[in-house]
Structure 1
Amino acid sequence: MTFKKKNEYFLGFAATIFTLIIYSLSPGFIKDLELLYQNAQFHWRGPDTPGKDIVIASVDEKSLDKLGRWPWSRDVFARIVDNLTAMGARVIAFDMVFSGEDNSGGLPGFLKLKDKLGQKGIKDSSVLSILDESIESADRDNLFATAIKNSRRVVLGYFFHFDPSTLSHLSRKELDQNFKNIKSTRFRGFIKSDQSIDPSDFNILQAYAVESNLDELSKNTRHAGFFSFDVETDGTLRRQPLLVQYHDADSGRDFFFPSLAVKSVEKFFKGTMLFKVGPAGVEKVLIDAKEPIVIPTNSKGEIMINFLGPQGSFPYISLADIYAPREGGLDSGIFKDKIVLVGATATALKDIRLTPFDPVFPGVEIHGTIIDNILNGKSLYRPAWLDLAEPGFLFVWGVFLTILFSLAKPVWGLGLWMALNFGYFCIVQWFFVSERFFLFGTLPMLQSLVILSLMVAYQYLVEQNQKRFIRGVFDQYVSPEVIDRLISNPDNMKLGGEEKELTSYFTDLAGFTSFSEKMTAEAQVKFLNEYLGEMSDILLKHEGTLDKYDGDAIKAFFGAPVYFSNHAEKACMVAIAMQKRLEELNHEWKEKELPELKMRIGINTGMIVVGNLGSKTRMSYGMNGDAVNLAARLEGANKFYGTWTMIAESTYLQAKDAIEAREMDYIQVVGRKKPVKIFELIGVKGCLEEDKKEMIKFYEKGLALYKEGEWEKAIILFKKALEIDPDDGPSKILIARCHELEQSPPEEQWQGVYTLSSK
């Protein structure tokens, strides 16, 4: 065996051992890759056809328009329950909780009136009869409770708190009452292989509090289940516990409660869920019905959800049509013998979840999916033998790849790798679609790529990576257009310049100086490199030219050396993208216990001198001019106004069709005689929400009155803007200024110009 062959085998076996270590440690990035791959498997499979036993009764936009603002009065739900019962629904399950009393009918007032009549000795039977009738019709909770009782088909929902830090709003009395309201629905169906087994040891999801329905509602049905979800680390919902464990501090006992889906299936089949448990945890789950249904779960009693498709996989019927069937032209037969899940699908109600199929998936349809999985035996599962088979496969796979790639010529290496992984992909997908379980998809593919890279192309990759690294470092300081232009035409490397209308751009991190004083020099450099690298990537992506860095500040311009007419618009787009990316970075830094940072940006469009500045041996492509200085002043002016991105009027006029911005003031900055209108850049065109639009409308009206010298009227409008956004800095500034001007009115020739006294 040659020395080269030994090294190839060593690299292949080392990569295989490394893969097995990674498998045993299961680091977060591998888990995340695997979860992404599993998401993709759903999309590659495509939508699956659900059964016909489930209908979604939707709190959608139509029902909100027809039945009024949410939450609705309980008499609305009473009528909905009555109508669904009359139309033959077998189960009516609520993916919502009715925890507070409904006083919308004026019940407290009627009761108070009756009490006063009694105190005054009024005993007119006709009056009291009318009053009693009014009290009865005003008691909306009783109407709903009566409907639930008469229907005998209702499954109520409630939710658990899984984080003890979220319980501050609940008193001890409320906690006890909520637990009391659901205690009768607790799960008792454990079948133990040994009576010494304690289900509390099974690591079943632990809840710290429950928020349940009113006692008046809870006592009218024995059927209720939790609708809380437990998401993965990436925020996606893939599995759902069928039971949740709750420890009652008063009795010192552990209780278990079933999910809304389980209670709905029990009600549908008139059966009972049973958990067969052994020393290792949950061994088997089944619905003890006329025809028993086995539910595959893990040892914690969690079901792996087999999502059938994007939102709308089940029939959706608006609650507006159920409330008034004749008006909706509804076919009542659609509910006959069905499980009807009542829940919110309107985006405004925010019961939206992230699933492998759809990033905006209504929670009520997830419950429908779980129920459909149980009814039709479609849930996913993980066979026990995979725990041994997976590491064994990784070892055999690594040995096979090592021998194969050592025999193949380098030119064929990539082709072999693609063919092998395509075959493995087909096998994995077949198991998912046909057998309903996941084989690990990413790790064997990564293992094969590592072995191929080490054995066939190591030196070549090192060389190419080195070239990419050098170019990557150079690209951070000079735009790709400048590099390409200088390479294609060396004559550009000369001193000189030209004046043209361009857009200058300045950024600075607020509070970085005080923050950086607490960091070591090495940590500062690492932090700045990450921040400046992210911001520079955005700048260069939008054809901006980096002038220079000044600590944490960035100085740049748009429109040179390669000119484009929409330089003002691109500068604004870069500002929006940078602020968005900084917000994302803040989330990442927060996990590292680093403080949140904010970035001030100033943008101005005007005549700028650009060119190569420096000596024969060292030069840089930069900018100069009054328009550049104004951009720097605007960046600093953000501090005064409490804003983060400020643009001059010249920039706004050229970019206004693509951005959302508001006029803020008319100012004169330090070192410049000519005043300038300034605008706050808010976002891309069409991004404003209604409350933001309303706030800006008040502000702009107030600004107009301010310019006309109507201080008191302006203050009223600025305060209205603050009612919508209490943190709006410009409104606060102009209110204070209006008060000053009321005390010391300006000269008659005043044109609304305010002079900033600092940079």
Structure 2
Amino acid sequence: MAQPWLAKTKILHRLGFGLGMGITVMMLTLTWLGLTPLVRLENTFLDFRFKLRGDRPVGQEVILVLIDEKSLKELGRWPWSRDKQGHLVKGIAADGAKVIGLDIIYAEPEVTESLRELREILSTASATGVAPPALRETLHKKLVVADTDHQFTNSLHIAKNVVLALPLLVPATHSTQLDLIPTTTAPEYIKRSEFMLVRQASSGEALEPHQATAALPPLKPFAEQAISLGHVYSLPDPDGVMRYEYLALRYHDAYYPSFGLEVARIYLGIPRDRMALILGQGVHLDEMLIPTDQKARMLINYVGREHSFPYVSATDVIHKRVSQGIFKDKAVLVGTTALGTYDQRTTPFSANFPGVEKNATVVENILHQQFLEKSVWSGPLEVSMILLFGLTLTYSLEKLRALPGTFMAASVFLGYAAVAQYLFVKQAIWIPVFNPLLTIAVTFITLTVLSFMTKERQAKEIRTMFSSYVSPRIVEELIKFPAKATLGGQRKELTMLFTDLINFTTFSEKHSAEDVVTQLNEYLGGMTEVVFRWNGTLDKFVGDEMVVFWGAPLDQPDHAELAIKCALHMRKRLGELQEKWKTEGRFQLDNGIGINTGTALVGNIGAEGKK
């Protein structure tokens, strides 16, 4: 025969403990495995923390020059001729910019139709020798004017502070086809932009940064006139959100800094030989350490949505419609934002974030040391929090009722979330949130559902078992502490009350059975109300006799006092009944009461499910 739920209290406690431990072990295992869905959810929680923090103040050192819709409307479709772009660079440099970053690719020469024709004419004239020297000189001057690449090179030479973009290709995992033709060796002219100092972190746990297999470097004349080159490789997380900046990429046997890093280094005036890549730790800019993960990635601490940085339209710069000195001592980044002309990024704040503004954010992070750090101890912290929350809730929820248990779980959940947000906003530290909070939620829900199911069944059994012979208050107490209602017996000190009617046999012989039952039920009903009023346990009716006791199933230290008060109240209630019976002309019943205190074996003794 199956045990009643009351008899399974210890088993259910063990079950709850086992479930709580199982959830904790499961969460530890999932954390160790680093499953992609859980990583994505953790990243989603990071995005939510950005939004909860909101926009933050941005420094004034960085300003953007944007090739926007207004610029295209006034100056024509993109790409513009390079003489026009050179004019833009000279205008920014002339206003005193400290460094100019061109987030534009210059991998191919620009050959216009007029330039091609002039070259052919000059080549023919030189080959035949029929053209006079004056004509050849005139053709050569026109050729120089028509050569927009030459004019752009001259603009870079005049500015002397331009950083150009260096596109490096990192193939996708398992990719066998490259969109670019692999280079056998890195061009010599880009090697002056590589890290001069590279070493391994002392921990020895570093991984190699991503390996580039091909490059689309700027044209050699451009690269030679630029102050530096910076790679513009970016890779979003699997959910498409751009959260990291790759501060270093390996290409052949060298490591190349990112575009944003180079712009920041030059702005700060730090020589290249004072910049060091520490694999597994970060990038040193003189005394500053930019923390990175083991893949040389820096977490980007976004300012807010797009257009968070001050900006001007490129056409206004070319047409000299900007205030004089607007670029003085600034880091100026030039890029495209017109629809269909730029690399669109998804960030925690926006799904339409221009790549040039992402680079500006990296520069701002470095200049103001606004580094968002996920420390090496975040892994051990995550494991510790899962263990702490899992074990604490497993132990506590088994002992607490529903409301206090819910309050405790909610306090732990919200408290940890609040601490994580505080560290994120005030200390720029990213601690894991999702797995610890999931541990709290799953443990609470599982144990609460188990408790609800078992306690409902136990409450039903208690009401069925006890409501006929104890007061409602005691029933509710037993529901709160069901272990006290389990089948069995134990020795306890009790006070017993015995009462029966005097001359009941004579009364029964002289009245009909119907009258006897009616008056007896009225008497027993009145006495039962008094017993329950004084929280007694009604043991049994034996004809006209009642057996009542105090001290079980709940402990009642004043059981003797309660029994005496109950006896006095029974006599009073009987007097009220006698007055009623006298007016009705019915037999005057009387009772005798005996009380005794002593040790007895007491419990819900009998067949399972029967009282």
Fold shared per TM-score above 0.5: yes
Q: Deviations over 1:296-340 (max 9, x none)?
A: 222332211101100011011111111111xxx311311000000
Q: 2:162 aligns with which of 129, 135, 154?
A: 154
**CA 284–85 in structure 1, closer or farther in 2 if over 3 Å, else same:** same
SS of equivalent residue, structure 1 residue 457: helix
Aligned pairs (5 A) from 1:21-170: 21-104=29-112, 106-163=114-171, 165=175, 168=178, 170=180
Q: Deviations over 1:193-221 (max 9, x none)?
A: 78xx999x732111111111111211222
User: Does structure 2 conserve the Cα–Cα contact (< 8 Å) formed by 1:190 and 1:274?
Assistant: no
Give, as a single letter, the amino acid of the residue that structure 1 aligns with 2:312: I
Give 2:300's aligned residue.
Answer: 305
Q: Deviations over 1:160-218 (max 9, x none)?
A: 1111758655446xx35874442232211225678xx999x732111111111111211
Give distance in 1, aligned partners of 2:406 and 2:389.
17
Give distance in 2, aligned partners of 1:178 and 1:66.
39
Give distance in 2, aligned partners of 1:259 and 1:94.
13
Give distance in 2, aligned partners of 1:154 and 1:108.
28
SS of equivalent residue, structure 1 residue 244: strand
Give, as a single letter, the amino acid of the residue that structure 2 aligns with 1:376: H
| 1:54 to partner: Cα distance | 0.3
Give 2:319's aligned residue.
Answer: 324
User: Does structure 2 conserve the Cα–Cα contact (< 8 Å) formed by 1:16 and 1:395?
Assistant: yes
User: Does structure 2 conserve the Cα–Cα contact (< 8 Å) formed by 1:275 and 1:283?
Assistant: no
Of 135-144 and 418-427, more deviation after overlay is shown by 418-427
Give 1:377's aligned residue.
Answer: 369
Q: What is the aligned-residue RMSD (CA, Å)?
A: 2.4
Give 1:730's aligned residue.
Answer: none
Give distance in 2, aligned partners of 1:135 and 1:169.
34
User: Does structure 2 conserve the Cα–Cα contact (< 8 Å) formed by 1:56 and 1:317?
Assistant: yes
Q: 1:244 aligns with which of 241, 244, 249?
A: 249
Give 1:270's aligned residue.
Answer: 269
Q: Deviations over 1:265-294 (max 9, x none)?
A: 2211221353364xxx43342212xxx322
User: Does structure 2 conserve the Cα–Cα contact (< 8 Å) formed by 1:307 and 1:369?
Assistant: yes
User: Does structure 1 conserve the Cα–Cα contact (< 8 Å) formed by 2:196 and 2:276?
Assistant: no
**CA 168–366 in structure 1, closer or farther in 2 if over 3 Å, else same:** closer
| 1:66 to partner: Cα distance | 1.5
Give 1:390's aligned residue.
Answer: 382
Q: Deviations over 1:208-242 (max 9, x none)?
A: 11111111211222401011102111111111121
Give distance in 1, aligned partners of 2:177 and 2:187.
14
Give 1:431's aligned residue.
Answer: 423
Give 1:353's aligned residue.
Answer: 345
Q: 1:441 aligns with which of 410, 433, 437?
A: 433
Q: Deviations over 1:454-490 (max 9, x none)?
A: 211148799xxxxxxxxxxxxxxxxxxxxxxxxxxxx
SS of equivalent residue, structure 2 residue 154: helix
User: Does structure 2 conserve the Cα–Cα contact (< 8 Å) formed by 1:310 and 1:358?
Assistant: yes
Give distance in 2, aligned partners of 1:379 and 1:229.
18
Of 142-151 and 3-12, more deviation after overlay is shown by 3-12
Give distance in 1, aligned partners of 2:105 and 2:201.
36
Give distance in 1, aligned partners of 2:176 and 2:262.
27
Give, as a single letter, the amino acid of the residue that structure 1 aligns with 2:222: L
Give, as a single letter, the amino acid of the residue that structure 2 aligns with 1:128: R
**CA 68–181 in structure 1, closer or farther in 2 if over 3 Å, else same:** farther
Structure 2: tracts of 5 or more residues without a match: 1-8, 455-611
Is 2:281 the partner of 1:283? Answer: yes
Q: 2:22 aligns with which of 10, 14, 25?
A: 14
User: Does structure 1 conserve the Cα–Cα contact (< 8 Å) formed by 2:292 and 2:299?
Assistant: yes
**CA 41–140 in structure 1, closer or farther in 2 if over 3 Å, else same:** same
Give distance in 1, aligned partners of 2:442 and 2:200.
47
| 1:411 to partner: Cα distance | 4.8
Give distance in 1, aligned partners of 2:447 and 2:49.
30
Q: 1:364 aligns with which of 349, 356, 365?
A: 356
Return the TM-score normalized by structure 1. 0.56
Give 2:232's aligned residue.
Answer: 227
SS of equivalent residue, structure 1 residue 343: strand
**CA 177–70 in structure 1, closer or farther in 2 if over 3 Å, else same:** farther
Give 1:216's aligned residue.
Answer: 221
Q: 1:402 aligns with which of 394, 400, 403?
A: 394
Of the two structures, which has the highest relative contact order with CA contacts closer than 8 Å and spacing of 6 or more?
Answer: 2
Aligned pairs (5 A) from 1:517-596: none
| 1:399 to partner: Cα distance | 1.2
Give, as a single letter, the amino acid of the residue that structure 1 aligns with 2:326: I
Give, as a single letter, the amino acid of the residue that structure 2 aligns with 1:71: P
Aligned pairs (5 A) from 1:162-201: 162-163=170-171, 165=175, 168=178, 170-171=180-181, 175-176=183-184, 179-191=187-199
**CA 425–198 in structure 1, closer or farther in 2 if over 3 Å, else same:** closer
Of 408-417 and 28-37, more deviation after overlay is shown by 408-417
User: Does structure 1 conserve the Cα–Cα contact (< 8 Å) formed by 2:119 and 2:143?
Assistant: yes
**CA 400–192 in structure 1, closer or farther in 2 if over 3 Å, else same:** closer
User: Does structure 2 conserve the Cα–Cα contact (< 8 Å) formed by 1:105 and 1:140?
Assistant: no
User: Does structure 1 conserve the Cα–Cα contact (< 8 Å) formed by 2:195 and 2:277?
Assistant: no
Give distance in 2, aligned partners of 1:264 and 1:304.
18
**CA 225–167 in structure 1, closer or farther in 2 if over 3 Å, else same:** farther
**CA 34–178 in structure 1, closer or farther in 2 if over 3 Å, else same:** same
Give distance in 2, aligned partners of 1:98 and 1:177.
19
User: Does structure 2 conserve the Cα–Cα contact (< 8 Å) formed by 1:181 and 1:212?
Assistant: no
Return the TM-score normalized by structure 2. 0.68
Q: Deviations over 1:132-187 (max 9, x none)?
A: 22101011101111111121110010211111758655446xx3587444223221
| 1:85 to partner: Cα distance | 0.9
User: Does structure 1 conserve the Cα–Cα contact (< 8 Å) formed by 2:181 and 2:214?
Assistant: no
Q: Deviations over 1:238-264 (max 9, x none)?
A: 1112110112xxxxxx11111111111
**CA 73–206 in structure 1, closer or farther in 2 if over 3 Å, else same:** same
Give distance in 2, aligned partners of 1:39 and 1:146.
44
**CA 192–397 in structure 1, closer or farther in 2 if over 3 Å, else same:** closer
Give, as a single letter, the amino acid of the residue that structure 1 aligns with 2:247: L
Give distance in 1, aligned partners of 2:332 and 2:453.
59
User: Does structure 2 conserve the Cα–Cα contact (< 8 Å) formed by 1:60 and 1:346?
Assistant: yes
Give 1:635's aligned residue.
Answer: none
Give, as a single letter, the amino acid of the residue that structure 1 aligns with 2:230: G
User: Does structure 2 conserve the Cα–Cα contact (< 8 Å) formed by 1:410 and 1:457?
Assistant: no
User: Does structure 1 conserve the Cα–Cα contact (< 8 Å) formed by 2:200 and 2:280?
Assistant: no
Aligned pairs (5 A) from 1:676-695: none
User: Does structure 1 conserve the Cα–Cα contact (< 8 Å) formed by 2:97 and 2:327?
Assistant: yes
Structure 1: tracts of 5 or more residues without a match: 248-253, 463-759
Q: Deviations over 1:538-589 (max 9, x none)?
A: xxxxxxxxxxxxxxxxxxxxxxxxxxxxxxxxxxxxxxxxxxxxxxxxxxxx
Give, as a single letter, the amino acid of the residue that structure 2 aligns with 1:73: S
Give distance in 2, aligned partners of 1:295 and 1:129.
54
User: Does structure 1 conserve the Cα–Cα contact (< 8 Å) formed by 2:160 and 2:227?
Assistant: no
User: Does structure 2 conserve the Cα–Cα contact (< 8 Å) formed by 1:246 and 1:255?
Assistant: yes
Give distance in 2, aligned partners of 1:179 and 1:35.
38
| 1:432 to partner: Cα distance | 0.4
